[in-house]
């Protein structure tokens, strides 16, 4: 007769499992990779299966109400998963946690650990404390430690790596919660960044993206001050790295020295994500963006003069309080005029701690979504027009993985950040390959590695307002 074995209680298993769910921007995704690195040091390995996790982490985003609502609906579900797996813990980090703090442990939500955006390095200690005491642990720091801790990391991609270069944001756009939840700008020292770049090269990474909420402000707070261009040039000499990118830029801080460095540095990709937010001066002023439309036009001119093939992408907000229909239409015209390669669009969402949320003349939800739908159709049309320029051309693609839609295909990006799907084997992941573009839609290109008998097709699109922001 076989003896029935009871598994040891979770607390005595040698290896514990952590499941992590990440919302929001690349900064949050990079933070999650650091959380996994930190937890690895106390014996946690990652699992893709929520119900087998000893620790479930929700890394949250507060940029819009929709993102915040998602946190509470996930927690409702996770509480039930936890009930079926006694001894497991729920941790909430990121921007909602930074703002909400201990209120997350109230109302019987089942949350055991709350930590913010400034104390990731404390996560192992907080987890151990929650295990030891069986009581909720909440720790939020108001700012980053004076000396930035260097954090271990477990990356989720083996080709392309994120490297934080500056944290926080010193702007105070009247709609935005980021300065409140991420604090003031703080740059990492260039030598520390370069050490990480060299380690990435050694580990076989091909692409590096320098990250910051306002990456173009990099280095102004260091002594001596440096700028992003200096960093691009330093990293540009690291032989094994084939591509350098940076996100997200602010039009005000995109000095010529940065554009010149992109032009001069062979591996720096010619893609600039520089959100304008709105195409009307009165709105930009009320948003406190610190520039007007004409200033932005000149930034684009400076880029195109120096790097004619550069792709330029933007974020746009519709329905900012008091935005009139005419003002909105100026944003629409600007998309046509500038010719953005792609735009991330969103309906304005009132956020706590931001001035605009209390202003009169809030635009109705209905009106905002009407504007969003219309803008999205124009954005898609313009992107499609731009993407069609690639038809029949040969592009260099860094292969990043299997295509999400079709497992027969693999997927990567051009230097200009266009997604390209094509048939090929997994052995090409991490390689730079030449692909001939056969079809173009507003969001991606499709191609083939065999260029000899190229058949190019033009796809028809009705631009049905896809790509809607959350």
The footprint of ligand SAH (CB under 6 A) covers: 63-64, 169, 175-176, 178, 213-214, 248, 250, 275, 277, 315, 317, 346, 348-349, 351
Using rule CB under 6 A, residue 95 touches ligand F3S: yes
Least distance CB 54 / ligand SAH (angstroms): 33
Separation of alpha carbons 91 and 58, rounded Å: 6
**Count of chain residues binding ligand SF4 (CB under 6 A):** 10
Question: Nearest Cα to 100, choosing from 318, 353, 378, 418?
Answer: 353
Q: Which does 351 bind (CB under 5 to 8 A by kind): ligand SF4, ligand F3S, ligand SAH, none?
A: ligand SAH
- Angstrom CA distances, 411 to 214, 218, 310, 431, 451, stand at 28, 31, 21, 11, 17
Residue closer to ligand F3S by CB (options 67, 267) is 67
Q: Which does 95 bind (CB under 5 to 8 A by kind): ligand F3S, ligand SF4, ligand SAH, none?
A: ligand F3S
Strand ranges, E, within 132-258: 137-139, 160-164, 166-167, 186-187, 207-211, 243-247
Q: Pattern of binders to ligand SF4 over 130-149, x per CB under 6 A? A: --------------------
- CA–chain centroid gap for 137, Å, is 28
* Contact (Cβ atoms closer than 8 angstroms) between residue 218 and residue 212: yes
* Contact (Cβ atoms closer than 8 angstroms) between residue 190 and residue 229: no
Using rule CB under 6 A, residue 173 touches ligand SF4: yes
- Binding residue (CB under 6 A) for ligand F3S from 61, 193, 375, 399: 61
**Sites for ligand SF4 among residues 245-304 (CB under 6 A):** 250
Least distance CB 64 / ligand F3S (angstroms): 8
The DSSP symbol for 354 reads: -
**Closest residue to bound ligand F3S by CB:** 24
Using rule CB under 6 A, residue 171 touches ligand SF4: yes
- Strands 409-413 and 394-402, by their bridges, are antiparallel
Using rule CB under 6 A, residue 179 touches ligand SF4: yes
Residue closer to ligand F3S by CB (options 28, 411) is 28
Q: What angle do CA 444, 448, 451 make, to 5 degrees?
A: 130
Task: Report the chain's terminal Cα–Cα distance, integer Å.
Answer: 57
Using rule CB under 6 A, residue 92 touches ligand F3S: no
Q: Which does 179 bind (CB under 5 to 8 A by kind): ligand F3S, ligand SF4, ligand SAH, none?
A: ligand SF4
* Contact (Cβ atoms closer than 8 angstroms) between residue 183 and residue 144: yes
Least distance CB 93 / ligand SF4 (angstroms): 19
Question: Nearest Cα to 323, choosing from 288, 351, 284?
Answer: 284
Separation of alpha carbons 71 and 264, rounded Å: 43
Enumerate binding residues for ligand F3S (CB under 6 A): 24-25, 27-28, 61-63, 94-95, 177-178, 181-182, 213
Enumerate binding residues for ligand SF4 (CB under 6 A): 169, 171-173, 176, 178-179, 213-214, 250
């Amino acid at each position: 007769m076989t003896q029935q074995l009871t598994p040891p209680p979770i607390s005595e298993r040698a290896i514990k499992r952590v499941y992590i769910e990440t919302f929001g921007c690349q900064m949050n995704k990079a933070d999650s990779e650091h959380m996994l690195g930190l937890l690895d040091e106390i014996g946690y390995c990652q699992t893709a299966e929520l119900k087998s996790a000893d620790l479930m982490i929700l890394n949250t985003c507060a940029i819009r109400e929709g993102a915040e609502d998602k946190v509470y609906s996930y927690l409702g579900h996770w509480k039930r998963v936890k009930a079926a797996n006694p001894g497991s813990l729920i941790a909430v980090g990121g921007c909602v946690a930074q703002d909400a703090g201990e209120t997350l442990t109230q109302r019987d939500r089942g949350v055991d650990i709350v930590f913010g955006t400034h104390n990731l390095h404390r996560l192992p200690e907080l987890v151990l404390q929650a295990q030891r005491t069986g009581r909720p642990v909440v720790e939020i720091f108001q700012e980053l430690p004076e000396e930035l801790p260097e954090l271990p990391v477990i990356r989720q991609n083996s080709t392309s790596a994120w490297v934080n270069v500056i944290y926080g944001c010193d702007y105070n756009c009247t709609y935005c919660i980021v300065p409140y939840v991420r604090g003031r700008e703080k740059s990492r020292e260039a030598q520390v960044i370069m050490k990480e770049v060299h380690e990435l090269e050694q580990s076989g990474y091909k692409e590096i993206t320098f990250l910051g909420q306002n990456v173009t402000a990099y280095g102004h707070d260091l002594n001596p001050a440096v700028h992003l261009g200096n960093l691009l040039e330093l990293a540009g000499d690291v032989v094994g790295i084939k591509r350098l990118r940076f996100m997200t830029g602010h039009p005000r801080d995109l000095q010529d020295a940065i554009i010149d460095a992109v032009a001069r540095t062979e591996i720096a990709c010619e893609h600039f994500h520089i959100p304008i937010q709105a195409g009307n001066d009165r709105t930009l002023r009320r948003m406190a963006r610190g520039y007007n439309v004409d200033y932005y036009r000149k930034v684009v001119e400076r880029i195109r003069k120096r790097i004619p093939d550069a792709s330029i992408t933007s974020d746009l907000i519709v329905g900012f309080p008091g935005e009139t229909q005419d003002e909105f239409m100026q944003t629409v015209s600007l998309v046509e005029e500038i010719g953005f390669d792609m735009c991330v669009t969103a309906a304005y969402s009132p956020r706590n701690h931001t001035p605009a949320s209390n202003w009169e003349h809030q635009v109705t939800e209905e009106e905002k979504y009407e504007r969003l739908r219309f803008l999205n159709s124009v954005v898609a049309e313009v992107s499609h027009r731009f993407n069609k320029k690639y038809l029949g051309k040969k592009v260099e693609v860094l292969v990043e993985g299997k295509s999400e839609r079709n497992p027969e295909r693999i997927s990567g990006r051009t230097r200009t950040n266009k997604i390209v799907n094509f048939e090929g084997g997994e052995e090409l992941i991490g390689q730079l390959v030449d692909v001939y573009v056969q079809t173009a839609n507003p969001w991606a290109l499709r191609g083939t590695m065999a260029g000899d008998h190229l058949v190019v097709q033009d796809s028809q699109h009705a631009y049905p307002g896809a790509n809607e922001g959350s």
